[in-house]
Structure 1
Amino acid sequence: MCLVLRPAPAVSEKYEFMQSLSTGDESYEFPVVFMCVRLRVSRSGFYEWRNRTISATARRRADISRHVVLSFAESDETYGYRRVHAELARWGVDCSPELVRSIMRELGLVPCQPRPWRHSLTEADAGAGPIPDLVNRDFTADTPGAKMVGDITYVPTWEGWLFLATVIDCHTKAVIGWAMDDNYRTPLIAAAVEMAARNCDLPPGAIFHSDRGSNYTSAEFAETLKGLEIRQSVGRTGICYDNAMAESFNAALKVERVHRTAYPTRKKAYADIAAYIELRYNTTRLHSGLGYRTPSEARDEYLSRQSAA
């Protein structure tokens, strides 16, 4: 099975302890003296705090804190204060982003952080002909499937690298096509694009945009796109901003899942990453580019508008 490498629970022991004691119930699991020593609070200070009249502001902050902890936990400890605030708004909890930020700092709720180093898989094909950039860093689209971006990233396992090719829809921000293998040759990216074509009704003139890697600019991949009636677009070599949307997904995957998990086999990595894509990223993860909606909600709203038209 996958080994999830996570630090100690982000919700502080002190917070849980104080919340449990605020009920006034004396039947605690451990003696009060023992818990006070462990949490570095004085016994007299605890009893003074417990008997103190709680203000309406403190009660409201405690209630919001419980929602913040729940949202953070349900995100697998990946949400920062902006996404937690957006989640609370969806739950009908009225508070400001700065209050959420203050509570998260107080409770020690720190989302997983990106790593600074990144290995590049982009190797330009010196023999590639001219391919235009039809996107020009505009990663928006009016309809699903009209504009797509793709990239390859790598996942370490104890058996060696597992390579992941993705196709992301610019309208819904969903990963609509993906493929994994122990290499990143052209059939891998072709399989991802073919999955996208099956999963999404591509409109005429649909665009697929990528970096200028040798596989993406190969004649074999060009034939795949031509057979699917998809126009090809590429950015400049070594300019990550030209494919920023695909790079952003890769970063989210690495930060929220891969860097926190050890994979004994490629098979385990495959299953875990597929679950992340289909069960988290596409369906439950709030996306800032969608006004803190999920990709599945964006697609459902588009289909509802089309049905009403």
Structure 2
Amino acid sequence: MSCGIWRAEPVPVATSPRARPTRSGVPTCPPCPPSGRRGPYVPTGQGRLYLAVIMNLFSRRIVGWAMASHMRTDLVCDALAMVVTARRPRAGLIYHSDKGSQYTSLAFGQRCERVGIRPYTGRSGSCFDNAVTESFFASLETELIDRTRFSIRAQAQQAVFSYVEGFCNPHRRHSANGQLSPIDYERRRTTTLAPTPQPRPLNSEAA
């Protein structure tokens, strides 16, 4: 698939119950490739919390994520498992990521193979391969992480969940989506791409 990217990235988090929109993002299309990378972290009173996210490039929607106190392969595998369960991607989906050890590990490769996903890593030395997901994390830092401090990881987890599912996916508008949020864009495109019902032929019989 060439029109999407699902992004996974370990990122630590800090506190903020609510974030305000300050930037716009970019869009993509359904069944698309995933992309992943290790991201910045945010300290909490209990230590770092890392976040792995997967973005669908079709709509810029965060379709999978996982949070933990470590950056081991389990973190990105858990994010992938969420996508497989919730979105049921068709075989042949491309999962784009950087060359981090989590994504080049045998365990991650086997997990992708079992569900028919093709892992693909970005080019060495290129700052553009993961630009879309980098944009998401830049917004996360600006709108959430930089505004608050978390005393415990549970607070950070709740704040990130609220940011992604309460703001980014349903409300953040993206220029590539025609200034629609990821969820609104998917709904509109699903309606637009739905097959048009064909008129049924009249059933006439000779008397």
Normalising by structure 1, we get a TM-score of: 0.54
Q: Is the 8 A contact 2:35 2:97 kept in 1?
A: yes
User: 1:236, 1:300 → 2: CA distance?
Assistant: 33
Query: Is 1:150 aligned with 2:36?
Result: yes
Q: CA RMSD in A?
A: 2.3
Q: Distance in 2 between matches of 1:172 and 1:242?
A: 17
Distance change (3 Å), C-alpha of 1:3 and 1:149: closer
Letter in 2 for 1:217: T
Q: Which amino acid aligns with 2:160?
A: I
Question: Among 196, 215, 237, which residue is 2:83 paired with?
Answer: 196
Alignment of 1:8-157 (within 5 A): 76=20, 78-79=21-22, 142=29, 144-153=30-39, 154-157=41-44
Q: Is 1:307 aligned to residue 189 of structure 2? A: no
Match of 2:58 among 151, 163, 171: 171
Aligned-residue offset at 1:266: 0.6
Q: 1:264 to 1:75 in 2, by over 3 A?
A: closer
Compared CA separation, residues 238 and 255, structure 1 to 2 (3 A) = farther
Shift of 1:75: 7.1
Tell which has more relative contact order, 1 or 2 (C-alpha 8 A, sep 6+): 2
Give the match's secondary structure for 2:171: coil
Matched positions, count? 181
Bigger radius of gyration: 1
Shift of 1:203: 2.7
**Which one-letter code corresponds to 1:287 in the other structure?**
H
1:243 aligns with 2:186: no
- Poorly superposed stretches of 4+, deviation over 4 Å: 2-5, 139-142
Match of 2:102 among 215, 238, 241: 215
8 Å Cα contact 1:141/1:147 also seen in 2: no
Deviation at 1:159, TM superposition (A): 1.2
Scaled by the length of structure 2, what TM-score is found?
Answer: 0.79
Q: For structure 1, list consecutive stretches of 5 or more residues without a partner in the other structure.
A: 6-73, 84-138
Residue matched to 1:226: 113
Q: Runs of 5+ in structure 2 lacking a partner?
A: 1-13, 197-207
Query: Whose helix proportion is higher, 1 or 2?
Result: 1
Counterparts of 1:149 and 1:294, CA distance in 2: 20
Task: Tell me the amino acid that sits aligned with residue 295 of structure 1.
Answer: P
Q: CA deviation at 1:221?
A: 0.5
